[in-house]
Amino acid sequence: MIAGIAKEGMTFVLLRGLMRDRRHWYGFSQRLAVAGVRVITPDLPGNGTLAEINSPLSISAYADYVWAQIDEVLSEGATREVLDPVCLVGLSMGGMLALEMAKHKPNRVQQVVLINSSAANLSPWYCRFQLRSLVKSAWGTGRRWLNGELAGVSLIEATVIQLTSECRGDDFKLIQDWSHYRQQGHTSLFNGLRQLAACASFDAPVIDHGLVNVPVNVIVANRDRLAHPSCGQALSDFYHTQVIYLDDCGHDASLDKPEILLRLLLGMAR
């Protein structure tokens, strides 16, 4: 157990990416909680517990839904009218949302941590979404299915894990678990396309409001096959901060390097 590292009362808000929900943190939120910090894992409209809601077509439109979930947790047992600021940790699309949330309510955000995120005004589309890698992952999954290696699991989830994880693409237990999540409930194709459109049009905002300057931290996986690492470097340059690289890590850093990511986040909370 890691104790005494985070600031007293620190709250981390973990935001997942495209067509993923709180279940896909896959134990990482529990690691943070064990370390002694409060963790909130909201779902985005169209995903998880909000799967029946139409996903907005712009990233900024997701913010109110997420703030409502945050405030519901923070207000439990609260004795003060003003709620403490939170640390927004966003993976991929979740990072885009974190930036928009910090732009509109900078007084509510202590800092932003971007993990393998990107922006249309900083990186070309073919770097933000490496289509060739998706085709390669789908081809590999198809071959494994033909060889009888993926019986009884979702080929979609197997492809997603193959694409987004450098270390666990062949982890059958992981594929089984995420296939079970999909059986329980998943993002519709309609909402998935709307989320993709929102991501495609997202521009990195300026979040320095003079009196309130929200620090932005950028974490990049050096073997990200979905969003090229150059996208993270572009964000780092834009926000005048140093990029932190994770070696031998894919897009889903919470799967590939949970312990290292945990130490980084707790270090930022000191």
> Has residue 244 been placed in a domain?
yes
pLDDT tens-place string over residues 103-140 = 999 999 999 999 999 999 999 999 999 999 999 999 99
- The per-residue pLDDT for 243 is 96
> Has residue 83 been placed in a domain?
yes
- The per-residue pLDDT for 12 is 97
Helix (H) / strand (E) element for 128: namely helix 125-128
> Has residue 18 been placed in a domain?
yes
pLDDT tens-place string over residues 60-106 = 999 999 999 999 998 876 655 567 899 999 999 999 999 999 999 99
> Has residue 2 been placed in a domain?
no
> Has residue 3 been placed in a domain?
no
As for how many domains the chain has, the answer is 1
Residue 112 forms beta bridges with which residues?
Answer: 88, 216
- The per-residue pLDDT for 2 is 32
Q: What's the CATH code of the domain at 76?
A: 3.40.50.1820
> Has residue 5 been placed in a domain?
no
Greatest alpha-carbon span in the chain: 60
> Has residue 1 been placed in a domain?
no
Tokens, residue 46? 């169209």
Phi, psi (degrees; rounded to nearest 5) at 202: -75, 130
The pTM score is 0.93
pLDDT tens-place string over residues 30-52 = 999 999 899 999 999 999 999 99
> Has residue 235 been placed in a domain?
yes
Q: Domain limits at 118?
A: 11-269
What is the DSSP annotation of 168-235? -TT-HHHHHHHHHHHHH----HHHHHHHHHHHHT--PPP-B-SS-B--EEEEEETT-SSS-HHHHHHH
